[in-house]
Amino acid sequence: MAESAFERLRAELADVVDLRGAAFLLTWDQATMMPPGGAAARARQLALLKQLAHERFVAPSVGRLLDAAEAEVDAAGLGEHAFEADYLRVTRRDFERDRALPLDFTRRFHGHMATTYQAWTEARAADDAARVIPLLERTLDLSLELSEHLGAADHAADPLIGRSDHGFTVATLRPLFVRLREALVPLARRVQACDPPDDAFTRGPYPLDQQFAFALERVREFGYDTRRGRLDPTHHPFAIEFSVDDVRITTRGRVDDLREALTCTFHESGHGMYHQGIDPDLEATPLVDGTSAGVHESQSRTWENRVGRSHAYWTYAYQKLLRAFPEQLAGVSVDAFHRAMNVVRPGVIRTRADELTYDLHVIVRFELELDLLEGRLAVRDLPEAWHERYREVVGVAAEDDRDGVLQDVHWFSREIGGAFQGYTLGNVLAAQFWDAAQRELPDLEGDIARGAFGALAGWQRQRIHRHGRRLDPLDLIADVTGGPVDPQPYLTYLADKYGGLYPEAR
């Protein structure tokens, strides 16, 4: 019997997914193992693998197989959530999106981003924002062009947001961000006005190797499987996957701040467990990924914050920490350590922000992205607008552009628009998912205080991870929470938590 069009499509695209997996290994190696000399050839090899994956995915033959497979599945009358239907829905969406970009545009875009990235590294070192302004102007033009290629929408940012958070738009996100801003800015101000707890003991020194070994033991207890993954240090931590059975995480640390390696490793383990938890039957299909940036981030923030910065968790883990660092932590109580893990300090750097002020950094970026795309802010005014918005939202401003507009790599390596909303969506969803887990698990906090993480990890796997991309983000959120995205659980959690830690701030 002849193979079905669906099976032929699946075989074709297995190679595409494997090519992407191979490219991810090159990326991982570049960030963890590669000697400096390897950079030039690596850039070539990585570009080549990505180009091959792209070409094979948008090939006309794939389009024809998609058409035929859709007809087959229609004719077979499979249910809406049959595997084949999910496969074709997601693949069709990816195919149309990737195919919509003319080769000429893609070349111009990538060429420009390579130039811009290089200029950014130099501009940042020299604190010279003026140098990248003309490049950023072109990035904005190209971002608008990209948005147009991707298809008609109510807002230029919508197609860009949709690529990482399918189903979300400016119309749904803007009110969410406004609500967060209105609630979080005053709460953060009140907390910042309180006396900070003593956290001198976090400054060690703590040898990095010991920190990484301790953090790895902890995330293995969470459920991160090192038979199917590994942990390595890098500059900018990330999780990355070459298959469901090889999902690696990275971390960084500071000898003079014990918290960095802990929170980074916990965070990346959440991303890692998401990918390790995807149904192995989705391996080598376009469905083998997290369903969206926001849902992915919800998993990392859950382990970083809801578990890793909770009093319940340290009730369990602090004795282990004391055994690892008895001298540095001599005389420090678990309560004092928990307070140190939750110090709130207004800062100008997003990636080092505490849990409470983190979203303020995202709000600044999200608002600036929309202002730029809407033409209400000119790129030449962006450096100053950054500082102003920081004073207004975060309450502090950087002294230079290096920690201002030049802070994040995002706008200097990709389009403007769609880059940041996922971070805050992750926090909001983490709270909604936590509430759902609490409803469905008999004693979630108690389990965590006993170091029994299997209930939470198993619940995540069952309700979220195993689906991969079979459920679209909004469907998955509705399925798990019973409703739409809602910031209230998150705001309640933050008010309760910081009200408890800082009673004067209530």
Question: 241 - beta bridge partners?
Answer: 247
Written as six digits, the tokens of 174 are 């803007």
Number of residues counted as binding a second copy (CB under 8 A): 36
* Residues of span 341-360 touching a second copy by CB under 8 A: none
In degrees rounded to 5, what are phi and psi of residue 115?
Answer: -60, -45
Rg (CA), the chain: 23
Nearest-approach distance from CB 288 to a second copy, in angstroms = 10
Nearest-approach distance from CB 425 to a second copy, in angstroms = 30
Distance, in Å, from the CA atom of 235 to the CA atom of 238, rounded to the nearest integer, reads 9
State the SS3 of 110-161.
HHHHHHHHHHHHHHHHHCCHHHHHHHHHHHHHHHHHHHHHHCCCCCCHHHHH
DSSP secondary structure letters along 41-95: HHHHHHHHHHHHHHHHHS-HHHHHHHHHHHHHHHHHT--TTSHHHHHHHHHHHHH
Span near a second copy by CB under 8 A; candidates 47-55, 59-67, 258-266, 432-440 = 47-55
Q: Under the criterion CB under 8 A, does residue 53 sit at the interface with a second copy?
A: no
Nearest-approach distance from CB 469 to a second copy, in angstroms = 18
Closest CA to 157 of 167, 147, 168: 147
Which of 167, 242, 334, 455 lies at the binding interface for a second copy (CB under 8 A)?
242
Span near a second copy by CB under 8 A; candidates 46-54, 114-122, 295-303, 403-411 = 46-54
Q: Under the criterion CB under 8 A, does residue 225 sit at the interface with a second copy?
A: yes
Q: Under the criterion CB under 8 A, does residue 234 sit at the interface with a second copy?
A: no
Span near a second copy by CB under 8 A; candidates 16-24, 80-88, 131-139, 365-373 = 16-24
Q: Under the criterion CB under 8 A, does residue 226 sit at the interface with a second copy?
A: yes
Comparison of 239 and 379: residue with beta carbon closer to a second copy: 239
Q: Under the criterion CB under 8 A, does residue 52 sit at the interface with a second copy?
A: yes
Q: What would the x/- binding string for a second copy be over residues 372 to 411, using CB under 8 A?
A: ----------------------------------------
Which of 29, 67, 256, 374 lies at the binding interface for a second copy (CB under 8 A)?
29
Q: Under the criterion CB under 8 A, does residue 208 sit at the interface with a second copy?
A: no
The torsion of the CA quartet 397, 398, 401, 404, rounded to 10 degrees, works out to: -60
Distance, in Å, from the CA atom of 64 to the CA atom of 71, rounded to the nearest integer, reads 11
Comparison of 215 and 382: residue with beta carbon closer to a second copy: 215
Phi/psi region, residue 250 (left: phi>0; alpha: psi -120 to 50; beta: rest), is beta
The torsion of the CA quartet 295, 296, 302, 308, rounded to 10 degrees, works out to: -170
Which of 12, 128, 245, 400 lies at the binding interface for a second copy (CB under 8 A)?
245
Q: Under the criterion CB under 8 A, does residue 243 sit at the interface with a second copy?
A: yes
Closest CA to 4 of 56, 75, 52: 75
Amino acid letter, residue 479: D
Which of 4, 8, 12, 15 lies at the binding interface for a second copy (CB under 8 A)?
15
Contact 324, 214 (CB under 8 A): yes
Q: Under the criterion CB under 8 A, does residue 283 sit at the interface with a second copy?
A: yes
Comparison of 42 and 345: residue with beta carbon closer to a second copy: 42
Residues 6+ apart with CB under 8 A from 144: 156, 373
Nearest-approach distance from CB 248 to a second copy, in angstroms = 8
Q: Under the criterion CB under 8 A, does residue 45 sit at the interface with a second copy?
A: yes
Q: Under the criterion CB under 8 A, does residue 229 sit at the interface with a second copy?
A: yes
Question: 254 - beta bridge partners?
Answer: 257
Written as six digits, the tokens of 6 are 């669906």
Cite the active site residues. 268
Span near a second copy by CB under 8 A; candidates 118-126, 151-159, 222-230, 404-412 = 222-230
In degrees rounded to 5, what are phi and psi of residue 153?
Answer: -160, 165
Written as six digits, the tokens of 237 are 């931590």
Which of 70, 84, 199, 246 lies at the binding interface for a second copy (CB under 8 A)?
246
Span near a second copy by CB under 8 A; candidates 14-22, 60-68, 141-149, 322-330 = 14-22
DSSP letter for 282, please.
Answer: G
Span near a second copy by CB under 8 A; candidates 28-36, 106-114, 211-219, 258-266 = 28-36
Comparison of 37 and 483: residue with beta carbon closer to a second copy: 37
Amino acid letter, residue 462: Q
Q: Under the criterion CB under 8 A, does residue 37 sit at the interface with a second copy?
A: yes
Q: Under the criterion CB under 8 A, does residue 21 sit at the interface with a second copy?
A: yes
Q: Name the residue with tokens 């111009």.
A: 108
Q: Under the criterion CB under 8 A, does residue 254 sit at the interface with a second copy?
A: no
Chain residues binding a second copy by CB under 8 A are 14-15, 18-19, 21-22, 25-26, 29, 33-38, 40-42, 44-45, 48-49, 52, 225-230, 242-243, 245-246, 248, 283-284
